[in-house]
Amino acid sequence: MYFCHINTLNFQKMKGKIVFITGASSGIGEGCARKFASEGSDLILNARNTAKLESLKAEFEGKYGSRVLLLPFDVRDRKAAENALASLPEEWKGIDVLINNAGLVIGVDKEFEGSLDEWDIMIDTNIRALLAMTRLVVPGMVARGRGHIINIGSIAGDAAYPGGSVYCATKAAVKALSDGLRIDLVDTPLRVTNIKPGMVETNFTVVRYRGDKAAADAFYKGIRPLTGDDIALTVYFAASLPEHIQLAELLVMPTNQATGTISYRKKE
C-alpha cells in the first residue's frame, strides 16, 4: 500500500494570489487575513468596521508588503455588494480565493421564545449573504478556469443543540450549499471547502450573549478553545494544497471537545 507523505506534496505558493475575505475585521476573518498577508497574498477585505479595516491595511502593507484593497459594506446589503464588486479595478477582478467568513449568532433562546428580528439577521448574514457573494464572485472564477471557495461553517451544522436551533439550521445550510456548489462545479477546476470550527474564542461569542462579556468568558471556562488564528491555519492549508486535491470538509475542534455538546472542562 502506498502512503503519501505530506512533505512530498507540491503545495501552492499563495504569494500574489488575490484572496477576498468577508467579515475580515475580527475573529476568524482577521486571522485569515493576517495569515494570507504573511504569505504574500493580495487581499480584498470586507467588513462594516471601516476603522479596523484601515488598521489592518496599514499593518499588512507595512509588515508584509501586501497589497490590500478595502470593501467596507454590510454583506446583508445585496445592492452594496453588487456595487462593491462592480467597482473593483481591473487588476483586482481575478479573485483566486473567496472566503465566505461573515457570520454570527445572537442569543441562546429556545426556538419558541427567540426574536424574529434576530433570526432575520442571522439568516440574512449566514445564508443569504453567503449566497450573494458566491453568485457575484464564482462566475468570474469559472470563466477564468481557476478559483477556490472556502465557506466557514460550524460544528453547529452537524446537529442541533439547546438554545441554538436557528443558528444550527443556518450552518446546516452552509454545509448543503457547499456540497451543492461542489456538485455544480464538478466539471471545472474550481474547489469548494467547508471549514467547520468547534469552540473558537472570538468576539463571536460576545455577540451570541448580546454583549455580555462575562457570560462569553464563562462559556470557555475550564477548556482551552481554539483561536481565529488556529482556524486560519486550516483555511490556508486547504487553499495551498495542490490544485488536484480538494479538501471538501474539515471539522476542527479543541482537543477537549468531542461534539457540539460534549466537552471536558477542568475544574479550577
pLDDT at residue number 4: 52
DSSP string, 244-261: T----EEEE--TTB-SSS
Name the percent of the chain lying above pLDDT 90: 95
- Residue of 54, 79, 86 whose CA lies nearest to 68: 54
DSSP type of residue 155? G
> Residues in the chain with pLDDT < 70?
1-8
pLDDT at residue number 1: 41
- The ranges assigned to domains in the chain are 13-252
Give the three-state DSSP class for 24: coil
pLDDT at residue number 7: 62
- Crossing angle of helices 27-38 and 50-64, rounded to 10°: 20
pLDDT at residue number 34: 98
Cell numbers for 221, please give them.
471556562
β partners of residue 152: 195
CATH superfamily membership of 13-252: NAD(P)-binding Rossmann-like Domain (3.40.50.720)
Q: Which residues are catalytic?
A: 167, 171
β partners of residue 226: 200
